[in-house]
Amino acid sequence: MTNMITGGEAVYRVLKANGIDTVFGLLGGSMLELYDAMYQGGEIAYVGARDERAAGHMADAWARMTGKPGVVLGAQAGPGVVNIVTAVAEAHLAYSPMVVIAGAITRADQCKDTFQEVDQVALFAPISKRSVMVTDPSRLVPMLEDAFRLANTGRRGPVVLHVPRDLFAEELPDFDPAPVNIARPGPASDDDIAAIAALVAEAERPVIFAGGGFKWSIGREALTSLAETLEIPVVASTGHADVMPHRHPWFAGQAGPRGNRVASRLTKEADVMVVLGARLGFNSTFHSNDYVGADTRIVHVDIEGSAVGRYFPAEIAAQGDARLTAEALCQTTTKPKCDAWRQAFKDDMDTLWTERAEEAEIDTLPMHPRRALAEIRDTLPESAIVTLDTGNTCLQAADRLAHYAPMSLITPLDFGLVGFGLAAAIGAKAAAPDRHTVAIMGDGAVGYTMIEIQTAISHQLPITIIVLDNEAWGAEKAYQQEFYGGRLLGAEIQSPRYDKFAELCGGKGIWVDGPGAMGPALKEAIDSGQTTIIQAKIDPGALMTLRKDLFKAPQNGKQ
Ligand SMILES: Cc1ncc(C[n+]2csc(CCOP(=O)(O)OP(=O)(O)O)c2C)c(N)n1
Ligand SMILES: [Mg+2]
């Protein structure tokens, strides 16, 4: 007679077979058989968050670090699952693979406006790669495996699998699952590689535009060799300033509106731009020729064919993996003759580094955010992982830090979500316990998820949170100041002593009161090995606006 196991046990086995050693969630009654299977199996760590949204951000960051889908247990049908919406939307725009196992009410109770019933499938449909309900016990395992396949195939993203709670208790035949085998595309075709090589060889002002595709494909070495073989500059797309090591002689850092002026000049003035593993999306270009030259001849290779040439016409359009394409190009391309362009780039970078070093000397009080960022940059260990948030200070941080190791920067910048960094740092730490993880956030952002400090402490996932406190929703305050005559409504906020809150939770708190204190505070936090909040008052006036195009100039003489 065949042995039988529960649906919960079956799900546990599929997770384990697919290399999932950590899952994130918040307890609810809808999948207790799965929790019990995890308890009894004991080989998958469970990080219990204090809000399902935070569990989602943790899984998202874990996925970005490991390359495997991050698993979220939305264990409470209805309200618990609804709370994950924000995290799924974030992962969707970041192309981060996630499998949400969402509890749903029992099959017998569906479509009766039952307690906690909500149309979960429809809710997630537009913000995920797939949102689907399992309706039969025999489909539970195949549909979960399919969720893993879809989340991690091609352009990655979240899949939400809704499982009626009775299915976890159903009996299924004993089985031993195999890992899901994911098809991986190869490099651009030989013909495309030859055409790209020919174009680059003749270029006078070439640049490589490298995106997150190099992170997913573990392609840092291939990208660096390509730059060194061709001796041409590389710029990174938004949020991916860690695609190459900081201060590598051919790396210009992040381009575009959130980037630095040298990288942005390169993409504007290039005659040939080789775009690999990137979309040239809004955040990196504003979809505008202000950031990509109108006459620039574009070679575009991405894992997602429909992204190629979407915003800027591609002269050579190819579908392929970023690392494999860079490796193939290394074998084929010859170094272009563009010494004047090279020299101008090097001179510009020297000036930029001098300016950045000068920011470390700004000694105004309250502390200028750039001074704080300079001290952070100079103190972070080379292996550190940084998570950012959305906001004015993080906008300035996106290109100002130093990332040396692969997979060192995790941002919410595609969705532009405030309140991401703290939870993301916990997920990153769970994926890479040996690396120090620092969340850099605004005073507004940290308030969304501050209780997750307790999660970090309870689960022995020590992280450092740096709160840059300008007593405002600074990014939005900047617009009210610049375009609405300084009439501030809802812009200024009062925050508690977050450092004291960390102490209340059993962690460490450090108050930074001015220039010179941030570096030592960060060092103290790192050396302590404890979850720490460093809170620093920074200059409320040091704000900048990004999207000036969205606002009319001040009207009616009211400015
Ligand atoms: C969830 C969410 N709510 C609101 C916004 C609008 N918003 C963008 S940046 C920002 C300010 C963030 O303030 P803070 O975290 O203190 O950082 P600061 O801008 O002051 O550096 C706000 C409210 C958003 N992007 N996301
Ligand atoms: Mg603020």
pLDDT computed for residue 549 by the predictor: 77
Ligand 2 is an ion; its neighbours by CB within 5 Å are 442-444, 470, 472, 474
* Burial class of 136 by CB neighbour count within 10 A (0 to 12, 13 to 18, 19+): exposed
Ligand 2 geometric centre to CA of 556 (Å): 30
Nearest residue to 249 (alpha-carbon basis) of 353, 165, 362:
353
Kindly report the backbone phi and psi dihedral angles of residue 438, in degrees, each rounded to the nearest multiple of 5, phi listed first: -125, 125
Cα dihedral 516/519/520/524 (nearest 10): 160
Which-ligand-closest: CA of 469?
2
Q: What's the token pair of residue 26?
A: 């918040």
* Cβ–ligand 1 contact at 291 (below 6 Å): no
Ligand 1 nearest atom to the CA of residue 443, by list position = 16
Which-ligand-closest: CA of 395?
1
Ligand 2 geometric centre to CA of 196 (Å): 45
Alpha-carbon distance of 317 to 431, in angstroms, equals 35
* Cβ–ligand 1 contact at 66 (below 6 Å): no
Alpha-carbon distance of 380 to 403, in angstroms, equals 9
Ligand 2 geometric centre to CA of 492 (Å): 8
Cα three-residue angle 234-238-239, rounded to 5 degrees: 105
Query: Which pTM does this prediction carry?
Result: 0.97
Ligand 1 nearest atom to the CA of residue 445, by list position = 15
> Residue 194's Cα: distance from chain center in Å?
33
**Full pLDDT tens readout for the chain, 559 residues:** 689 999 999 999 999 999 999 999 999 999 999 999 999 999 999 999 999 999 999 999 999 999 999 999 999 999 999 999 999 999 999 999 999 999 999 999 999 999 999 999 999 999 999 999 999 999 999 999 999 999 999 999 999 999 999 999 999 999 999 999 999 999 999 999 999 999 999 999 999 999 999 999 999 999 999 999 999 999 999 999 999 999 999 999 999 998 999 999 999 999 999 999 999 999 999 999 999 999 999 999 999 999 999 999 999 999 999 999 999 999 999 999 999 999 999 999 999 999 999 999 999 999 999 999 999 999 999 999 999 999 998 888 988 999 999 999 999 998 999 999 999 999 999 999 999 999 999 999 999 999 999 999 999 999 999 999 999 999 999 999 999 999 999 999 999 999 999 999 999 999 999 999 999 999 999 999 999 999 999 999 999 888 777 887 765 545 4
Nearest residue to 95 (alpha-carbon basis) of 31, 156, 176:
156
* Cβ–ligand 1 contact at 475 (below 6 Å): yes
**How far, in Å, are 88, 427, 459 from residue 387 at the CA level?**
18, 10, 19
Ligand 2 geometric centre to CA of 442 (Å): 5
**How far, in Å, are 256, 291, 421 from residue 253 at the CA level?**
10, 15, 21
Ligand 1 geometric centre to CA of 483 (Å): 17
Alpha-carbon distance of 527 to 381, in angstroms, equals 11
Strand 385-387's sheet: what is its strand order? Answer: 409-410, 385-387, 437-442, 464-469, 532-537, 508-512
Residue carrying the six token digits 């993880």: 437
Report the residue among 413, 473, 481 best suited for mutation to probe ligand 1: largest number of ligand atoms under 8 A from its CB: 473
* Cβ–ligand 1 contact at 469 (below 6 Å): no
* Cβ–ligand 1 contact at 443 (below 6 Å): yes
pLDDT computed for residue 2 by the predictor: 81
Which-ligand-closest: CA of 418?
1
DSSP annotation of 241 = T
Nearest residue to 530 (alpha-carbon basis) of 495, 506, 558:
506
Ligand 1 geometric centre to CA of 55 (Å): 20
Nearest residue to 133 (alpha-carbon basis) of 104, 166, 112:
104
Q: What's the token pair of residue 255?
A: 């381009």
Ligand 1 geometric centre to CA of 69 (Å): 28
